[in-house]
Structure 1
Amino acid sequence: MSKRSFNKDMLDDRNGSTDFADSVLSVNTLQQFAVTKKRCLSFHGEKITNVVEGTTSHIGLEEEAVETQSLWKRFYKLECELNAALRNIVVPNNITHVYNPLEYASNLHCAYLRKFLNGPKSVVFVGMNPGPNGMGQTGVPFGNITTVRNEMALSGSVQQPVSVHEKRPVFGLECTVEEPSGARLWSLFKKLAGGSLSIFAEKCFVHNFCPLICYDKAGRNITPNELKVR
């Protein structure tokens, strides 16, 4: 199987009814986005499993050795496709600013994926959405500055959101405020892994389900569970 045909298979709807990109890009509310079918990748033994609403296809690793070595790139490509869909959502009236660190902090985010999604994982820890001083600054899930810079040894540039709330500036790795939840979580992972995040990453991966940060006029972080869909 050629690389071109592999990529086509990854993006085509297995049910043949609606193109995957079209089905996602038509989303216009958070609620609709939540129930829209999405692609996910997982590994089982010597096969790559491509899952769409219970429909499974297998692609032998021996046929796609290059793709196997670039799991993080394929994962990031899917993130980008879903990000395109998220640009079309309609947020509640009380939301004045929406940040997506997967876009403006993509450099650091990809550095994280390259290092910590370098192969199949047995355990995935899923967070809800970015914190203002964690992933909102670094593009790394629960990524408080000290952990990202010193423990993970990641570096990279961070741009700015399309529209910046005056009370929620983005400084990237220059941010001087730590994300408490990130400091606690990554410290726990490091402790459980015998003092090494590299050992933790051999079997585990951390991901945020929703990449968006929503702020109201006062700059309050409105988490997904607080959003009221119109």
Structure 2
Amino acid sequence: MNTVDQLKQAARRLSAACDEAIAGLEASGAVAHATNPLDYAWAHHEQFLDLWGGLGATTLLLGMNPGPWGMAQTGVPFGATQVARDFLRIEGRPLSTPANAHPKRPIVGMDLERQEVSGTRLWNLMEEMYGSPEAAFADLFVVNHCPLLLLGDEAELEKRSGADAPRPHVGFLRHPISTGGHEVEASHPRLPRGSPAHPPSR
């Protein structure tokens, strides 16, 4: 099995784990709305894996979880719509809004005009450093520890610092992510403080 097929298998396993966790997350009150872009935007995510997952990357960039204007719309980690189209060459496909989505955060897809800030910064930096996605993905690959979009009643989750800060997306997933023959186990207790899955208190 080649690297791209391994990545697709890992993504489907992760997606299934997320689907199983959604009802519990919403019922617990930790979040009001939890939706899975690996389900409704799989047509985009699969393109991302097909195009860029098999170029031999040896460095993994690990994000935390999607924002409503990035991967939630494009199925691509840090995937602001403009960079997903123009730099990553993802072709837009019709997407449907999940039944449990936040009413203020509908799924527009690749036609969304609002741009996700962190995704724009990341991929613009990759373009500046490498010049092309081919060169970038020959060196690195990007995944999210948790691909769920997690929103509160007022859309964005309440921001709190310290030990009481809600981390509903941390700790319920454990899966192997295959990158060029190496597996990175995205299990938050094994990640150091300050990593994406274990952010500092401040």
Q: For 1:98, what is the secondary structure of its paired residue?
A: strand
Aligned equivalents of 1:198 and 1:97: distance in 2?
36
**Equivalent residue number for residue 62 of structure 1:** none
**Equivalent residue number for residue 184 of structure 2:** none
How far off is 1:104 after superposition? 0.5
Taking structure 1 as the reference length, what is the TM-score of the superposition? 0.64
Confirm or deny that 1:148 pairs with 2:84: yes
Q: Which amino acid aligns with 2:53?
A: L
Displacement over 3 Å in runs of 4+: none
The answer to whether the 8 A contact 2:18-2:36 is kept is no
More helix by share: 1
Q: Which amino acid aligns with 1:117?
A: G
Matches within 5 A, 1:118-197: 118-157=54-93, 158-193=95-130, 195-197=131-133
The answer to whether the 8 A contact 1:132-1:221 is kept is no
Aligned residues: 159
Q: Which amino acid aligns with 1:80?
A: R
Confirm or deny that 1:115 pairs with 2:51: yes
Identity across the alignment (%): 31
CA distances 1:10-59 after superposition (whole Å, capped 9, x unpaired): xxxxxxxxxxxxxxxxxxxxxxxxxxxxxxxxxxxxxxxxxxxxxxxxxx
The answer to whether the 8 A contact 1:101-1:212 is kept is yes
How far off is 1:221 after superposition? 3.9
Aligned equivalents of 2:72 and 2:158: distance in 1?
13
Q: Which amino acid aligns with 2:102?
A: H
**Equivalent residue number for residue 19 of structure 2:** 87
How far off is 1:94 after superposition? 4.5
How far off is 1:220 after superposition? 1.5
How far off is 1:152 after superposition? 1.5
Taking structure 2 as the reference length, what is the TM-score of the superposition? 0.72
Question: CA 1:103–1:222 in 2, change beyond 3 Å: closer, same or farther?
Answer: farther
How far off is 1:222 after superposition? 6.3
**Equivalent residue number for residue 182 of structure 2:** none
Give the superposed CA RMSD. 1.9
How far off is 1:96 after superposition? 1.8
Matches within 5 A, 1:1-230: 67-68=1-2, 71-89=3-21, 90-91=24-25, 92-157=28-93, 158-193=95-130, 195-221=131-157, 226-227=166-167
CA distances 1:77-110 after superposition (whole Å, capped 9, x unpaired): 2221232222232213142211110110000000
Aligned equivalents of 1:226 and 1:183: distance in 2?
26
Q: Which runs of 5+ in 2 are unaligned?
A: 160-164, 172-202
The answer to whether the 8 A contact 1:165-1:219 is kept is yes
Question: CA 1:93–1:78 in 2, change beyond 3 Å: closer, same or farther?
Answer: same
Question: CA 1:127–1:108 in 2, change beyond 3 Å: closer, same or farther?
Answer: same
The answer to whether the 8 A contact 2:45-2:75 is kept is yes
Query: Which structure has the bigger radius of gyration?
Result: 1
The answer to whether the 8 A contact 1:215-1:222 is kept is no
The answer to whether the 8 A contact 1:213-1:222 is kept is no
Q: Which has the higher contact order (CA 8 A, sep 6+)?
A: 2
